[in-house]
């Protein structure tokens, strides 16, 4: 079991990229970050989380310090309570290996948790047989180019119109929109939205 990844059918929200990297060694799921307090002033990310919550429950796992509690509280205020699954790590004193000094409260974050503890946290949500929402979605930049969402004079307007159909904000960069669409749509759903038939490989 030590090398296996738990298949989690729901998107998982953590604070930062090191938390995401840690979970990627434990679970196979769509893992998104709040970019710490960046969530508080990034409408694009908040809108994406709301769109995801409309399609699937979201698992929230933040650090056990004060900052983690603020971020968790903010997520709870912006998303329907019945769409959130809250997981909690214990308060463990220590310092992550990559850091030169402990955190302000002297406790380990998600990135510092032992693998076995994380496996126990996620085990109840594994093995449902559902695929991760965009785990095998082959949507790529080439699709965006093919469908005029990049590389054309009116691509920005096309992206805004496409984003609006998914309930996403205007002005998203091609990379940000691609990442969001891969989470929100299956590949056949994307092709249907752009009016393109799926071609056999």
Q: The domain spanning residue 102 has which CATH number? A: 3.40.1360.10
How many domains does the chain divide into?
2
How much is the average pLDDT of 182-196?
88
Residue position matching structure tokens 């992550």: 96
pLDDT score of 131: 46
Q: Tell me what pLDDT residue 201 has.
A: 45
The whole-number pLDDT of residue 132 equals 45
Q: What is the rounded CA–CA span in Å between residue 130 and residue 118?
A: 20
Over the chain, what is the mean pLDDT? 85
What does the H/E/C string look like for the chain? CCCCCEECCCCEEECCHHHHHHHHCCEECCEEECCHHHHHHCHHHHHHHHHHHHHCCEEEEECCCHHHHHHHHHHHHHCCHHHEEEEECCCCECCCCCCCCCCCCCECCHHHCCHHHHHHHHHHHCCCCCCCCCCCCCCCHHHHHHCCCCCCCCHHHHHHHHHHHCCCCCCCCHHHHHHHHHHHCCHHHHHHHHCCCCCCC
Expressed as residue numbers, the domain containing 85 is 6-125
Residue ending a domain, among 69, 92, 125, is 125
- Please state the pTM of the whole predicted model: 0.74
Of residues 60 and 99, more confidence is placed in 60
pLDDT tens readout for residues 104-127:
767 788 988 999 999 999 999 887
Q: Pick the closest to residue 80 from 110, 114, 55 (CA basis).
A: 55
Whether residues 158 and 114 share a domain: the answer is: no
Show the tokens assigned to 140. 């790529």
- 59 and 111 co-located in one domain: yes
- 39 with 118, same domain: the answer is yes
Residue 5: pLDDT above 50? yes
Of the residues 67, 94, 125, which one is the last residue of a structural domain? 125
Do 26 and 117 share a domain, yes or no? yes
């Amino acid at each position: 079991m030590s090398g296996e990844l738990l298949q989690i059918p729901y998107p998982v929200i953590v604070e930062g990229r090191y938390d995401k990297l840690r979970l990627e060694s434990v679970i196979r799921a769509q893992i998104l970050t709040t970019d710490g307090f960046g969530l508080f002033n990034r409408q694009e990310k908040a809108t994406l989380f709301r769109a995801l919550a409309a399609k699937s429950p979201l698992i929230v796992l933040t650090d056990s310090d004060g900052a983690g509690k603020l971020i968790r509280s903010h997520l709870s205020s912006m998303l329907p309570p019945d769409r959130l699954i809250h997981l909690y790590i214990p308060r463990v004193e220590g310092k992550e290996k990559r850091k030169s000094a402990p955190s302000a409260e002297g406790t380990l974050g998600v990135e510092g948790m032992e693998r076995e503890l994380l496996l126990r946290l996620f085990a109840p949500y594994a093995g449902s047989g559902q695929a991760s929402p965009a785990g095998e979605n082959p949507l790529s930049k080439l699709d965006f180019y093919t469908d005029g969402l990049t590389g054309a004079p009116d691509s920005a307007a096309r992206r805004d119109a496409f984003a609006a159909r998914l309930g996403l904000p205007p002005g998203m960069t091609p990379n940000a929109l691609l990442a969001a669409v891969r989470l929100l749509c299956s590949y056949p759903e994307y092709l249907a939205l752009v009016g393109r038939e799926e071609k056999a490989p």
